[in-house]
Structure 1
Amino acid sequence: MVMAQYKESFGDTLFRYLTMIVLGLLSLLMLMPFAKVLATSFSGPNPVDAGKVFFWPVQFNLESWFYVLKQAPLWHSFLLTVFATVAGTFLCLLVTALMAYPLAKSEFKLAKIILFMVVMTMIFRYPIIPYFLSLRSYGLYNSIWVLIIPHTISAFNLIIMRTFFRGMPKELEEAAQMEGCGYFGLLFRIVLPSSKAVLATLGIFYAVGIWNQFMTPLMFIEDQALYPLQLKLREYIIYTDMATEGLKVELPYNNTTLQSTTIIFATIPILLVYPFLQKHFVKGALLGSVK
């Protein structure tokens, strides 16, 4: 039996095309600031000062990039942030999975109470001063681990992963249990390998949060050798006047082009990760939110 082919009505077609146009325009609007900063980083100083650079480089040159890429402290902060992001994302996913899996089990009697406490942390935020004093008492002041440990688990991400785990077929786990697989074996050999979508989604959430963190290192890190990329970026944006101070010759870059180059330098690495995880990201976000 051949099923009748669905014919889209004129109203549905019009709505679909209008939605695509609106979303496309919004996407272009969001990309405009990034395009302007990118064009400025590849432009000469004179057209930038004259306000002639918008979305395409004017008097194209790479001198700003050569100057920024030769800064050893910036590379040190970059590598430190990469370490914090990779190690922190792995630790966050591990801890979130270890907590979400038992909360997804109906036989776990305390699941509802613990989940209620988790939701309460989303409603009532911690006071800043007790938070600062607590982390300092744990020895995290002026420590690289302050970039990782405070972000180990997110209530929002925990709920998404728990919801995803609850939607997995019970028959799969029952079959593994009949073969003698325990709860840890179920989690690491059955559940997590089947959860690439939600792991990719939450991995992006955690990675972006750790990569872009600013307030935590600002409060807890005083040693400039431990500055993550965002704090180092702040230094370059505020103090780039020192790059040209006291020089009488005309340089092929200025403060604005150096600042734009540093911003792009700090933004591109995290953007490059998304295309590789896009298909898992969309699927994981939908499955973890609507089931």
Structure 2
Amino acid sequence: MRISFGDKVFQSFNYVVLILIACSSLFPLVHLIALSISSSAAIETGKVNLWPVGFNLDTFNLLVKGTPLVKSFLNSVEITVVGVALCMASTILAAYPLSRPQFYARRFFTLMMIFTMIFTGGVIPTFLVIQGLGLVNSYWALWLSSLVSTYNMLILRTYFENIPSEIDDAARMDGCGETRLLLRIILPVSMPVLATLTLFYGVAFWNVFMSMLIYINDTDKHNLTVLVQQMIQSQSVLQQSMMVQPDEQVHVVEEGIKAAGVLVMIAPMLLVYPFLQRYFVKGVMLGSVKG
């Protein structure tokens, strides 16, 4: 098909606009990296833009020694790994029966779950329930309060419904039960949507903030998100991070420490996303509502 001159101009304009948008999106991240690995003198004089000036890692060294960064990072990893595992298992176990046409009253249960997307109990009733269960100051308060996302469940249920029924019939003719059918047939062909939902849950648990402040009172159990927020807003945390041994005294500025903390917080998601990105669009589209 021949492309007209007007179409070429339009496509070129689109490419230019998209490149500009991409550059504007990358600029804060690149500037953050440059701040975190530049010298304090360069940061104070405003010489750091896109490229680091006076390369050094003193900020990261001070951040590790002067703040509970490692502990908070491990807490975030524990919250994310266990939370994603529990949520994915619960979402699969909820979506699979609701996708089977032979499941009795599946429409009723689906509507009841959709109802929770419109009306919720609110923060105070939820906190009273968590407190009544004795889960305050426990990570189970975070995991159980967000065990199944109705939105994610609907995506997965619709994907399961789109799997040809002939696959189920062939498996049952070979003597395959429901459990084996789910584990050996359904889940392997559903990897795109499973990877997408894993990313959804992973980002949500890694960035959990408000629930952490509401349910977790022990500061030793706080995650990386809370620590970085305290570093940005609390001067006392920054001053504490600068109190190192005299023989290790280095000159750092607050902007460098804040940039390093934010970079450590977002780095894991940036590293994981490229491996799941190829599943992202495909998983959401295949799990969308039938047209």
Give the 5 Å matches for 1:83-162: 83-162=78-157
Q: Aligned letter for 1:257?
A: G
User: Gapped runs of 5+ residues in structure 1?
Assistant: 1-5
Indicate the SS of the match to 1:195. Answer: helix
Give the 5 Å matches for 1:216-227: 216-227=211-222
Indicate the SS of the match to 1:101. Answer: helix
Q: Are 1:96 and 1:158, in contact at CA under 8 Å, matched by a contact in 2?
A: yes
Please name the residue that 1:243 is paired with: 241
Please name the residue that 1:279 is paired with: 278
Paired residue for 1:195, among 190, 197, 206?
190
TM, length-normalised to structure 2: 0.90
Please name the residue that 1:63 is paired with: 58
Q: Which moved more, 1:163-172 or 1:6-15?
A: 6-15
Distance in 2 of aligned mates of 1:9 and 1:119: 48
Q: Are 1:36 and 1:54, in contact at CA under 8 Å, matched by a contact in 2?
A: yes
Q: CA deviation at 1:43?
A: 1.4
Q: CA deviation at 1:245?
A: 6.9
Please name the residue that 1:31 is paired with: 26
Indicate the SS of the match to 1:148. Answer: helix
Q: For this pair of structures, how many residues does the alignment match?
A: 286
Distance in 2 of aligned mates of 1:188 and 1:220: 35
Q: CA deviation at 1:96?
A: 0.5
Q: CA deviation at 1:23?
A: 2.7
Please name the residue that 1:3 is paired with: none
Please name the residue that 2:181 is paired with: 186
Q: Cα distance 1:263–1:83, how it changes in 2: closer, same or farther (>3 A)?
A: same
Please name the residue that 1:171 is paired with: 166
TM, length-normalised to structure 1: 0.90
CA-based RMSD of the aligned residues comes to 2.3
Q: Are 2:42 and 2:48, in contact at CA under 8 Å, matched by a contact in 1?
A: yes
Q: Which moved more, 1:173-182 or 1:10-19?
A: 10-19
Distance in 2 of aligned mates of 1:55 and 1:198: 37
Cα deviation code 1:141-195 (max 9, x no counterpart)? 1112223222211111111111111111111111011112122221111100111
Indicate the SS of the match to 1:289. Answer: coil
Please name the residue that 1:264 is paired with: 263
Q: Cα distance 1:219–1:33, how it changes in 2: closer, same or farther (>3 A)?
A: same
Distance in 1 of aligned mates of 2:67 and 2:243: 20
Q: CA deviation at 1:66?
A: 1.3
Q: Are 2:65 and 2:241, in contact at CA under 8 Å, matched by a contact in 1?
A: no
Q: Aligned letter for 2:21?
A: L
Cα deviation code 1:225-258 (max 9, x no counterpart)? 1111111222333220333479999843111111
Distance in 2 of aligned mates of 1:125 and 1:145: 20
Q: Which moved more, 1:179-188 or 1:164-173?
A: 179-188
Distance in 2 of aligned mates of 1:200 and 1:63: 37
Distance in 2 of aligned mates of 1:287 and 1:93: 18
Q: CA deviation at 1:21?
A: 2.9
Indicate the SS of the match to 1:59. Answer: coil
Distance in 1 of aligned mates of 2:288 and 2:44: 47
Q: Are 1:244 and 1:254, in contact at CA under 8 Å, matched by a contact in 2?
A: no
Q: Aligned letter for 2:239?
A: D
